[in-house]
Structure 1
Amino acid sequence: MNYLLPHSIDQAAGNFPDKDAFRCGNNHISYRELSAKTNQLAHLLVSLGVRKGDRVGIYLRRSLETAVAVYGIMKAGAAYVPLDPDAPAARTRFLLEDCSIEHLISHRSQLRGLDDILKEDVKLKTIIGISEEQVIKTLPWEVLEQFPAGNGPALRILEQDLAYVMYTSGSTGAPKGIMHTHYSGLSYARLSAQLYHLSPEDRIGNHAALHFDISTMGYFSGPLVGATTVIIPEAHTKMPASLAQLMEKEKLTVWYSVPLALVQLLDQGLLDQRDLRAIKWVLFGGEPFSSRHLKALMELWPQAIFSNVYGPAEVNQCTYYHMTTPPDINTAIPIGQVWDNTEIMIVDKTDAMVPEGEQGELLVRSATMMKGYWKQPQLTEKSLYVSRDEWGFEKVFYRTGDLVQLNPKGELMFLGRKDRQIKTRGYRVELDEVEAALLRHEGVTEAAVFSVSNDVEGLLIEATVILKDQCTLSEKALQSFVGLHLPLYAMPHKINFVSSLPHTSTGKIDRVKLQEEGAKIKENK
């Protein structure tokens, strides 16, 4: 019976032993090899004292080792915690501390980042994947060969046990960890495999880094059906020409990324030079796709079905909108209809259901929903809506914070947020966290952060700050300082220095006015 995420690779190893499970660049690993290596890693972790429910960090760039790490950690009964190698060392240290991570899986290519992290005291006991001496114990990847490959540790792991913790931006200025179980992760894998008709013949292009939630389709849904997941190497994500070449070479049948990755390929005129007729599905999510670019792309790939994927990381996915004909460039693209095993509510500020066709906040109840936020029970409780019927049966919904409404066709339309969270380049960013980072600088007295729309890149982050008297801080210096605390995707691309900020009648900073002024400046350029 398949009820844990690692069951998928072991089952595929029996059905398709020599088939590529994952590919990355010129490297590949079969399902037989993946099953064996993850068993070995699980035994190693258990020998180091890892127990059921512990958290193990993954500090790796896109590589085959990420797949070994993900499934090896789960086979040891632990939960994997993906860490962004490009994040500031201070942020990574916070995650290590917050999640009580004692063991980290990495690679010698990450030595510079590891050195920065270890400059200050952390509670790590072991780093697996490097042989170079550090202030803590290190073990090379070759050590796995000393452990049994035939079966994983004999542990009683349940479907409701923790499988992974994925951190996202937090409104308090600190990241928050989203807890997912084997049940929620496997439910997502099954629903997406069913919706997109995935089969062993598919080759899934996994463009997202492991710490980005849309990576779970390639890592979970692919092995579930015995497909091959092609992890896009880091270098290819930064070089559109080589990315288009890779897509052709790998004969990808399914593509899933944020719209920006496809827009960059389109704008550079690279796609019509490649034979990409193998692509059957183009999935995009994380942020809106401009109708103009989407129309052009659909005309290039008429054989493919395009699907707008919607769902916060807390529920993995909950709606979809399939498209077979190019959209009207003046029409917003729906987030569509609710997928299986999922129920929604659209409510007003009092949690009352809104009349059909009126806007309200989207609440989601699904098998794919998170367990809660790591070590934040109050935030978890605040994020949930619980209803009970007369017999005491409880229904638990996640409050997305997204405003939606049904159009005349009964399709969900995304209208915006009810709070200060945005999506930029597919990543969730709490603007309050960016403000908090700016205010850490001793030369900054006030800061306001807002988003400005860009037709190609979507929403961009801008900031307006007031400096202390006599402070001569430059934009470059302040951005460098903020970069010590925020990941690259959360960095303001522009910082404006002013002597005063507009305020509302209640005395609060008028961020709406700043946003409008920023938009006008862009229009006039």
Structure 2
Amino acid sequence: MITVLDWLESTAAKFADNIMCADAKKQITYADFVKNAQAIGSFLCKYEKMRQPVAVFMDNSVEAWEAMLGVVYSGNFYVVIDALMPIERIKNIFTTLRPVAVIVDEKCQKQAAKLGLGQDVYDYEQIVQTSPDADKLQAVREKMIDADPIYALFTSGSTGVPKGTVLTHLSVMKYTQWYAETFHIDENTVFGSQTPFYFSMSVSTMFSTIYTGAKLVVIPKQLFSFPVKLIEFMNEARINTIYWVPSAMNMIANFKALDEHRLPFLKTVLFAGEAMPTKQLNYWRRHLSADTLYANLFGPTETTDIAAYYIIDRDFRDDEPIPIGHACRNCDVFVLKEDDTLAGADEEGELCVRGSFLASGYYDNPEKTGEVFVQNPLNTHYRDMIYKTGDLVKYNDRGELVYITRKDFQIKHQGYRIELGEIETAVSAVSRVYECACIYDLERKLIIIYCSGQNLTSKDILLGVRDRLPKYMLPNKMFFLENMPHNANGKIDKKMLQKIYENEMQK
């Protein structure tokens, strides 16, 4: 197999009439999915271009996925654009990207017009009617190689300008094989998809579906505000595998929705994207069947999705962090100190990754690419590129990697170097805390904690963490919200918390 398209066609030949994907409005078989993707690809072949970006400006849906693979059939790579992003951010992405074409659905047409994206904006409903042109598609395939890009995902940049991470067929295929084999994904798997298609976690579910013949069910976003309805939906769809951000899992745990409602079909629970609070994970473990597999996955978009993972194999206290474990197969991870030497036992350092999972770099951004995709300092003899993740980790006494914090979440307070993630872990274990996040007021030298929960007071927090944190790490200010803000990916939105705090200080 050379490309993901070979996988798709091979799987479709085996499971032609099986449902490949379902959303709230429609479902589609493997055979019809391939037909529609080839129709879109045939339309885009009119550009006679290859390895160029095509934007997919559509809601999470069956149609959006068809459009994404349609772009790939044309020999180009797709970039999914979130229609709910601020207009200025979308404009920044398009300024960098300069896509040769944009595919929209009916819902996003008006917004695309407001953005002034030019003439090459096409309605999915029209171009999917194109008759597949086997000769054109074959001519494109003969020129494709596994090092060609398949997509670019735009993530936030430290300068405020989004970065477009470019991934190849080879990286996606090597990663997907590991993911599917490790978590026993096959034609009997029914994914409950929580993450949007512009988020790297969706890569795991989408491409392992293509690889194995699984079924992907797009869970309506609004259900994540109604835990009982969410559980009912999952049972009706017979979902047996989820790969969610912890905030989505926390919602079910915080409402104790599993006390009276069961998930009998669910056998695989995977999570990534942010630290999983152990208290909420323990709730899930108490309420699902004993043979359920749980795993903590860890990695950035720049490693396709994941570089390290830990299958939960023992009990953890509520205030004990879950390890991120060990490297995925065919992926090398190691920990470098600031002097570019290997960290020893219980020494902190930056997690670095090498191997075929790595992205090609950032689209049209050689400067940023050169900062983090660098020559392996442990090898000076030949080209050996690594990705420096910016994540601080260390090995525990079991030889497992433990996440500490982002380098930019580390602060200096009262002369001490402090990881904000450690404070969050301690606070999240306090009784009646649903979610929490820590920020730092550099100007006033204050540690700030934001919490949501049940009838919480500052006294509850301080009493709850006094045996877990030294005095210099105790929060200086505590704020309580009915609900924590979340970004489009479902993670706690720390930038929004920073704005809330700044507004509070201006009063």
Residue of structure 1 in register with 2:152 after alignment: 165
Hey, what's the Cα distance between the residues in 2 that align with 1:76 and 1:181? 15
Residue of structure 2 in register with 1:417 after alignment: 406
Hey, what's the Cα distance between the residues in 2 that align with 1:409 and 1:368? 26
Q: Which runs of 5+ in 2 are unaligned?
A: 412-419, 429-433, 445-486
2:408 match: secondary structure: coil
2:325 counterpart letter in structure 1: G
Hey, what's the Cα distance between the residues in 1 that align with 2:164 and 2:87? 17
The one of 362, 368, 389 aligned to 2:351: 362
Hey, what's the Cα distance between the residues in 2 that align with 1:499 and 1:26? 45
Residue of structure 1 in register with 2:319 after alignment: 330
Hey, what's the Cα distance between the residues in 2 that align with 1:50 and 1:125? 17
Hey, what's the Cα distance between the residues in 2 that align with 1:50 and 1:492? 43
The one of 71, 74, 78 aligned to 1:73: 71
Hey, what's the Cα distance between the residues in 1 that align with 2:168 and 2:301? 13
1:22 counterpart letter in structure 2: C
Query: Retained in 2: the 8 A contact 1:200–1:228?
Result: yes
Residue 189 of structure 1 pairs with residue 169 of structure 2: no
Residue 284 of structure 1 pairs with residue 271 of structure 2: yes
Residue 206 of structure 1 pairs with residue 193 of structure 2: yes
Give CA deviations for 1:189-239 in whole Å, capped at 9, x if unaligned. Answer: 111001101111111111100111101012111110111111112333443
Aligned pairs for 1:131-170 (under 5 A) are 141-148=125-132, 152-155=137-140, 156-170=143-157
Hey, what's the Cα distance between the residues in 2 that align with 1:413 and 1:17? 43
Distance 1:238 1:421, change over 3 A: farther
Q: Once the 2 structures are TM-superposed, how far is the Cα of residue 390 of structure 1 from its aligned partner?
A: 8.6
The one of 210, 214, 217 aligned to 1:223: 210
Give CA deviations for 1:144-189 in whole Å, capped at 9, x if unaligned. Answer: 2232276735211111011111111111121111111111111111
Report the count of equivalent residues.
438
Residue of structure 2 in register with 1:127 after alignment: 121
Hey, what's the Cα distance between the residues in 2 that align with 1:215 and 1:24? 14
Residue of structure 2 in register with 1:403 after alignment: 392
Hey, what's the Cα distance between the residues in 1 that align with 2:409 and 2:321? 22
Query: Retained in 1: the 8 A contact 2:191–2:242?
Result: yes
Query: Retained in 2: the 8 A contact 1:359–1:403?
Result: yes
Query: Retained in 1: the 8 A contact 2:40–2:127?
Result: no
Hey, what's the Cα distance between the residues in 2 that align with 1:43 and 1:406? 51
Aligned pairs for 1:307-326 (under 5 A) are 307-315=295-303, 316-326=305-315
Residue of structure 1 in register with 2:19 after alignment: 20
Residue of structure 2 in register with 1:33 after alignment: 32
Hey, what's the Cα distance between the residues in 2 that align with 1:154 and 1:421? 52
Give CA deviations for 1:21-76 in whole Å, capped at 9, x if unaligned. Answer: 111125111110011111110010112x1511110111112110121011111111
Q: Which runs of 5+ in 1 are unaligned?
A: 130-139, 423-449, 467-482, 501-525
CA RMSD of aligned residues (A): 2.8
Query: Retained in 1: the 8 A contact 2:325–2:400?
Result: yes
Aligned identity (percent) is 24
2:393 match: secondary structure: strand
Q: Once the 2 structures are TM-superposed, how far is the Cα of residue 391 of structure 1 from its aligned partner?
A: 9.3
Query: Retained in 1: the 8 A contact 2:227–2:252?
Result: yes
The one of 235, 238, 245 aligned to 1:258: 245
Query: Retained in 1: the 8 A contact 2:309–2:325?
Result: yes
Distance 1:375 1:348, change over 3 A: same
The one of 475, 492, 496 aligned to 2:496: 492
Query: Retained in 1: the 8 A contact 2:149–2:168?
Result: yes
2:217 counterpart letter in structure 1: V
Hey, what's the Cα distance between the residues in 1 that align with 2:360 and 2:320? 36
Q: Once the 2 structures are TM-superposed, how far is the Cα of residue 246 of structure 1 from its aligned partner?
A: 1.3
Distance 1:464 1:354, change over 3 A: closer
Q: Once the 2 structures are TM-superposed, how far is the Cα of residue 461 of structure 1 from its aligned partner?
A: 6.3
Using the TM superposition, name which of 168-177 and 450-459 deviates more: 450-459
Q: Once the 2 structures are TM-superposed, how far is the Cα of residue 389 of structure 1 from its aligned partner?
A: 8.6
Query: Retained in 2: the 8 A contact 1:291–1:329?
Result: yes
Using the TM superposition, name which of 272-281 and 254-263 deviates more: 272-281
TM-score when normalising by structure 2? 0.80
Residue of structure 1 in register with 2:55 after alignment: 57
Residue of structure 2 in register with 1:305 after alignment: 293
Distance 1:309 1:70, change over 3 A: same
TM-score when normalising by structure 1? 0.78
Distance 1:209 1:498, change over 3 A: closer
1:314 match: secondary structure: helix
Query: RCO greater where, 1 or 2, for CA within 8 Å and sep 6 or more?
Result: 1
Give CA deviations for 1:301-322 in whole Å, capped at 9, x if unaligned. Answer: 1331110000111002111111
Residue of structure 2 in register with 1:373 after alignment: 362
2:167 match: secondary structure: strand
Distance 1:62 1:489, change over 3 A: farther
Query: Retained in 2: the 8 A contact 1:336–1:413?
Result: yes
2:103 counterpart letter in structure 1: I
Residue of structure 1 in register with 2:458 after alignment: none
Hey, what's the Cα distance between the residues in 1 that align with 2:71 and 2:396? 44
Distance 1:43 1:346, change over 3 A: same
The one of 346, 355, 376 aligned to 1:387: 376
Residue of structure 2 in register with 1:240 after alignment: 227
The one of 87, 97, 100 aligned to 1:99: 97
Hey, what's the Cα distance between the residues in 2 that align with 1:326 and 1:17? 43
2:398 counterpart letter in structure 1: K
Distance 1:67 1:463, change over 3 A: farther
2:104 counterpart letter in structure 1: S
Distance 1:117 1:458, change over 3 A: farther
